[in-house]
Structure 1
Amino acid sequence: MKRVLLPLLCILPACALFQKPPRPVHAPPEVAAAVEIPLAFPTEGRQVINGTTLRAIQLAMEDYLPWDRKLPSDASPLYECLNRRESYVVAAAPASPGVVLVSIIPNPDACDIATAPILDVGATYAVDVNGWRILAVQE
């Protein structure tokens, strides 16, 4: 029994390292009931992103701001803001066959960036959309 128990006790803490990404939170039914999705999708403000580009953006963003990133307890409000995905805008374009460029740029309207000089934020990724890997990063 001890021969089985000891290896099991050593392996169990390692299981904590294999976490799945968090699932999106859904609103309670009473909040969802107040939202009406129109039959005709609005054309004003609509953005259409093909699946390949979307996946390239997701891959680059996951590398740039991983979902499980932990902020230091003494993080400044600016640092906290720059560690939220909604504080960025993204541009994507094909570079060559099988490669998509993804540029992650701080949104100047977020985080009071206009009042703080930010020089080392943002990155451009070259993503291989055939093998789904990052080929290069320019920060």
Structure 2
Amino acid sequence: MKRFSLLLWSVSFPACFLLQGPPRPAHASREEAAQVQFPVGFAEEGRQTIRGNMLRAAQLAMDDFLPWDRKPHKEATPLEQCLYRREAYDVTAAPGPEGIMFVSIFPNAHECDIGSAPIIDLGATYAIDIRAWRILAIQGE
């Protein structure tokens, strides 16, 4: 029985590495966190509310468009390196027909210092089924 358990463990343990999800967010130290002063309320200017369905649809589309584990190739230019960062993109989402959310992902020209070079074909629009949480279709991929 001991041998079987060891065999089972040795086979399943490496599989755990294959099933890892996205990385957990980094947290500041307790000392740094203690210095943060939260406001009593959020200022009207710049405040946005992103509804749960819209947030989840945008996250699903971004996870497909630019997976967490995707890295630039070794000879990537600075522009290419920038385009591998999620914060280099803007997302627009809008409800569609019943049960569908449309999510567009496109590069932010100011984030990557694109200059006058037009960026064509670097974004995509997703049709997300918000009932079953799956991608129905992708346009511009």
User: Taking structure 2 as the reference length, what is the TM-score of the superposition?
Assistant: 0.87
2:108 maps to what in 1? Answer: 107
1:127 deviation in Å? Answer: 0.2
SS in structure 1 at match of 2:14: helix
1:13/1:40 CA distance change after superposition, 3 Å: closer
1:7 deviation in Å? Answer: 6.9
Which stretch shows the higher mean deviation, 18-27 or 7-16? 7-16
Report sequence identity in percent: 55
Distance in 2 of aligned mates of 1:3 and 1:38? 57
SS in structure 2 at match of 1:16: helix
Q: For 1:39-118, what aligned pairs fall within 5 Å after superposition?
A: 39-118=40-119
Return the letter of the residue paired with 2:98.
P
Which ranges of structure 2 fall in alignment gaps of 5 or more residues?
none
Which stretch shows the higher mean deviation, 5-14 or 68-77? 5-14
> How many pairs were matched up?
139
1:115 deviation in Å? Answer: 3.4
Distance in 2 of aligned mates of 1:39 and 1:59? 32
SS in structure 2 at match of 1:90: strand
- CA distances 1:49-99 after superposition (whole Å, capped 9, x unpaired): 110111000000100111111322222111110111111111111110000
User: Taking structure 1 as the reference length, what is the TM-score of the superposition?
Assistant: 0.88
